[in-house]
Amino acid sequence: MTVQTWTYILVGITFALYIGIAIWSRAGSTKEFYVAGGGVSPLANGMATAADWMSAASFISMAGIISFAGYDGSVYLMGWTGGYVLLALLLAPYLRKFGKFTVPDFIGDRYYSNSARMVAVFCALLVSFAYVAGQMRGVGLVFSRFLEVDINTGVVIGMVIVLFYAVLGGMKGITYTQVAQYCVLIFAFMVPAIFISIQMTGNPIPQLGMGSTVNDGSGMYLLDKLDGLSTALGFNEYTNGSKSTIDVFAITMALMVGTAGLPHVIVRFFTVKRVKDARKSAGLALLLIAILYTAAPAVAVFARTNMINTVSNREYADMPDWFTKWEKTKLIKFDDKNGDGKIQYVADKAKNELTVDNDIMVLANPEIANLPAWVIALVAAGALAAALSTAAGLLLVISASVSHDLIKKVFNPGISEKGELWAARGAATVAVVIAGYFGINPPGFVAAVVALAFGLAAASFFPAIVLGIFYKKMNKEGAITGMVVGISLMIFYILKFKFGVFDGGKGAVAGLTKDWWFGISPEGFGTIAMIVNFVVSIMVMQFTPSPPEKVQEIVEDIRIPSGVGEAVDH
């Protein structure tokens, strides 16, 4: 059977499975729609959180980015896992004890103010929309390459599927489809990783294969070999980076804190029964995520070595089938500058003839390594599972922000349970359509904004939530000013250094890197914006009235794990 037939079969089976689960787990109440009824087991929540978290970026792009960036790629590995330590220790247990439906719910109640709630809603919508557009793009990419349909048709198919189970099932439907999607995506990621690890190093465990010797009888360690290949072509040593230490530090911190502040991850912890379940499911989620995140750097090393060996200084005419197929999607470009018919892949931009998009390394890896057709198809199904599960989680945040935080809490408190449920479904539908539109017509800034969503979350939510829990005296004036200053500063820095808005547009961006504050890139600036948020909050608090007694009592109460109610409407 061909790759395409296999892909149709595997994608068909997994989609049927997701739809089946959605029908079985329809939501009947707002509580089921927002927090899956509040009785999800820690293991199911751990799996759902892992799938929710691991997006098209983790599955498709991350290993590819690391593969080109080497050590510099470590920021994603540490950043996107270390955030779970913060989440488990500083946020999840207390937010579960607090027991409401959304993150703006916590901010609005803890800071006794609808203005605070509105600021939080704005931040949640900004972060989630930026993120979901990227997922839809990932869905389209997989469809276009593996099923050879038009990329736009792919986006529309993805929209219909997500719409179906997110709108019908709400959080309940999403949770159980995410459990299934975790199984699909981890299997799809690990099978080719194990195959290639055996092929290249003889070690079936990719995490160990990465540090083993190459299987070609030379007795050379794989990483040493790759360092050698890289330097020979003029690139940096793979195991050494080119970013400054302070920038690596800042980016890692921004990604960690941003991860802990992402609303679609935080809400997952509202779905379990007890505080101790919230702690445990954070641990399980990270364990399940770590399986992929420790294999990804190994995949990156295998893919990079394989690619250099396959293309470097070889005849263009002799390139394998996958090369030309990816050329069609324009994600591989070859330009024979010196006209010798061979591919020169080198660091020197003037001489380099080959550009390879980060995103294809994971998708093309099984083909580069000549793995069987079903493995290649499996990767397509896994990538779709990763993109769809994250998209669904984000859509739920968007719909809850609109129906619960805006309509129910601010504009129409008298709305009936049934009315709110329909509002939630309507908001989810509109959100899918908008996300799909951006998936089909990606504005140039989507990719940049996805990367910066973490900075935005770090600059806004994280300080407000942590202070809300650990600093009883923190008041609404402090928290609101902190959030507004933090996110404004972050947006300003992005506009200035990512888009060159104040210096004559995109073309100026490259020349501005020397002006970076403290030598920190826009990706890492979330760290500074977060610190500014903390400092401003605490300073403003000194000069404004303390929070009411009742709020201080709430804070004392959320610090004690017992006596937890189920997540309730109030």
Partner 1 sequence: MSDKQKKASAYWRENVRYLFILLAIWFAVSYGAGILFKDNLDEIKIGGFKLGFWFAQQGSIYVFVVLIFVYVRLMNKLDKKYGYNE
Q: Is 549 in the site for partner 1 (CB under 8 A)?
A: no
Select the residue interacting with partner 1 from 16, 23, 232, 287 (CB under 8 A).
Answer: 287
The C-alpha atoms of residue 48 and residue 183 are separated, in whole angstroms, by 10
> How open is the CA angle 165-169-174, to the nearest 5 degrees?
70
Q: Is 110 in the site for partner 1 (CB under 8 A)?
A: no
> How open is the CA angle 440-441-447, to the nearest 5 degrees?
100
Q: Is 249 in the site for partner 1 (CB under 8 A)?
A: yes
> Does residue 241 contact residue 227 with C-beta atoms inside 8 Å?
no
Helix (H, G, I), strand (E, B) or coil at 273: coil
Q: Is 68 in the site for partner 1 (CB under 8 A)?
A: no
Select the residue interacting with partner 1 from 39, 283, 419, 442 (CB under 8 A).
Answer: 283
Select the residue interacting with partner 1 from 20, 348, 559, 565 (CB under 8 A).
Answer: 559
Placement of tokens 């595997």 in the chain: 10
Q: Is 418 in the site for partner 1 (CB under 8 A)?
A: no
Q: According to CB under 8 A, which residues from 112 to 131 bind partner 1?
A: none
Q: Is 4 in the site for partner 1 (CB under 8 A)?
A: no
Select the residue interacting with partner 1 from 4, 29, 152, 212 (CB under 8 A).
Answer: 212
Q: How far is the CB of 308 from partner 1 (least distance, A)?
A: 17
Select the residue interacting with partner 1 from 69, 222, 391, 540 (CB under 8 A).
Answer: 222
The residue among 183, 217, 187 whose CA lies nearest residue 200 is 217
Q: According to CB under 8 A, which residues from 448 to 507 bind partner 1?
A: 470
* Region near partner 1 per CB under 8 A, out of 171-179, 220-228, 405-413, 489-497: 220-228
CA distances from 77 to 74, 90, 293, 416 (A): 5, 21, 6, 45
Select the residue interacting with partner 1 from 62, 121, 272, 282 (CB under 8 A).
Answer: 282
For residue 149 the two structure tokens come to: 């349909």
Which CB atom, from 11 or from 91, has the smaller least distance to partner 1? 91
Q: According to CB under 8 A, which residues from 88 to 107 bind partner 1?
A: 88-90, 93
CA distances from 254 to 23, 490, 498, 559 (A): 39, 11, 16, 26
> How open is the CA angle 394-396-397, to the nearest 5 degrees?
65
The C-alpha atoms of residue 219 and residue 202 are separated, in whole angstroms, by 12
The C-alpha atoms of residue 131 and residue 548 are separated, in whole angstroms, by 37
The C-alpha atoms of residue 526 and residue 453 are separated, in whole angstroms, by 9
Q: Is 316 in the site for partner 1 (CB under 8 A)?
A: no
The C-alpha atoms of residue 264 and residue 395 are separated, in whole angstroms, by 9
Select the residue interacting with partner 1 from 17, 19, 43, 78 (CB under 8 A).
Answer: 78
Contact positions toward partner 1, by CB under 8 A? Answer: 66, 71, 73-74, 77-78, 81-82, 84-85, 88-90, 93, 207, 210-213, 221-224, 239, 245, 248-249, 252-253, 256, 274, 276, 279-280, 282-283, 286-287, 290, 293-294, 297, 470, 556, 559-564
